[in-house]
Amino acid sequence: MNMKRNVTTVIASVLLSGITAFGIVKAATPDAMGQVSHNPDGSTYRTVNLSLSDYPDFTYAAENSVDAVVYVKVTVKTQQQYVDPFGYFFGYGEPRTRERVQQGSGSGVIIREDGYIVTNNHVVDGATDVEVTLNNNKTFKARIIGTDPATDVALIKIDANGLPAIEFADSDKLRLGEWVLAIGSPLGEALRSTITAGIVSAKGRQMPSQRNPGEIKIESFIQTDAAVNPGNSGGALVNKEGKLVGINTMIVSTTQAYSGYSFAVPSNIVRKIVGDLIDFGSVKRVVLGIAGGTVTEELAEKLKLSSVKGVYISEVMKGGAAAKAGLEKEDVIVSIDSTAIGSMSELQEKINGFRPSDKATVKFIRDGREKSTVVTFEGTLDATGTVDEDGTVVFYGAKLKAVKNGVEIVSAGNGKVAQAGGADGYVIQYVNDQKVSKPQDVIDIAKKSKRSVFVEGVTGTGRPFYFGFGKDE
């Protein structure tokens, strides 16, 4: 009798526990299935009811980061040459110059409490005056510390302390579908500190259609659907913790306004660039010494790869870092320091984080087998005075060669010469009031200058033109 009573008690306890557990789970779980409703035609559909706690909450992220985003106003003054048509008609017209003033704006992000602010290169490019307005409406004059056209990143500074700086996040850890906030001034000063939300739509995006012919770009954009407009350039893209995951840079649209696609430079790229600009005054970029591209389906079949991922090496530069490490043509790079490499943009992003003499372990596929090697990265061959294979000499990013009436800019590049107004085909005749006849003359005179370089000459069409720029301190 007692045994039956005990068995009955155990069974009842189990049933009661099960019912209780089911009730607790049911009460704690939102009704994701919802209710079934009927259309007039007899078909059915479900409605989903979400409680307020089921919606994403961005208040902490917004409040934690909005004060670190600033409004950047720039003034660009240029000298235009013109000829008085009346005087030209009578044969005594002389070229004259007049000043042209343009204004633009964008956004910026405070990354250090002592006044360092990151923005886009295209926001401050050519600026003669930069003004920053904080979220508390205080305004400061800013100076440009350095720029990097290849990544469209620039660093400016204001004289202030105790500023609300934003913390960098690891952009490599961003996941597709993750919520992000875009903060900036989308349509100018009237809409400062605007916050919009979206998700990470894609990673490692490249925009080849946005480049000029021959222009060097390092692109591995974060794509989002957060509403962004031109004034957001240089503003913050933050995660749900309010940490910086990217710098908003561009939109793709046929109307010049937001249409669902916005792109940001990953924070890991930004952090390295601004670190170099602060520590060295210029970007310390490295090269692997290969040519190639993202693996295609045809290449994967030809090389018998297990997946359509990686970077195919079509050429290895003699004497480069890759060649010295033993990499060969038709190798496929699949990882660098345990970071998987699935495309050329991912390779560029990873390599951009290294400095000259840094070492990394590169895994690659050769003849169907995975191998590894250690690469010692080398600096780029763009230092002033470097002689290229074609005989041209590098001068602040430009390539020079001697011609009959001076020194021609064969390629303006994207350094200080190009930023100051130098263009392909321009012939340098004087540097700091001294006549030049060969590239070495230009370099020697510039080296002797303490602060700036002033260049006089003629354009490719024979028009007199001059420009100047400040030297790196």
What is the set of active-site residues? 122, 152, 233
| Cα distance between residue 36 and residue 49, in whole Å | 12
Q: How many CB atoms neighbour CB 384 within 10 A? A: 17
- Which residue from 247, 203, 197, 250 is spatially nearest to 225, judged by alpha carbons? 197
Q: Which residue has the tokens 């306890």?
A: 13
Strands, E assignment, 318-405: 332-336, 339-340, 359-366, 369-376, 378-379, 393-395, 398-403
Radius of gyration of the chain (CA): 29
CA atoms 349, 396, 394, 282: torsion sign? negative
State how far the Cα of 66 lies from the Cα of 103, in Å rounded to an integer: 25
Q: What is the DSSP letter of 386?
A: P
Q: Select from 414, 400, 380 the least CA-distant residue to 443.
A: 400
Distance separating the N- and C-terminal Cα atoms of the chain: 98
Phi, psi (deg, nearest 5) at residue 85: -60, -30
User: DSSP readout, 410-444?
Assistant: EE-TTSHHHHHT--TT-EEEEETTEE-SSHHHHHH
CA distance 213 to 359: 32
- Round to whole Å and give the CA distance between 168 and 239: 10
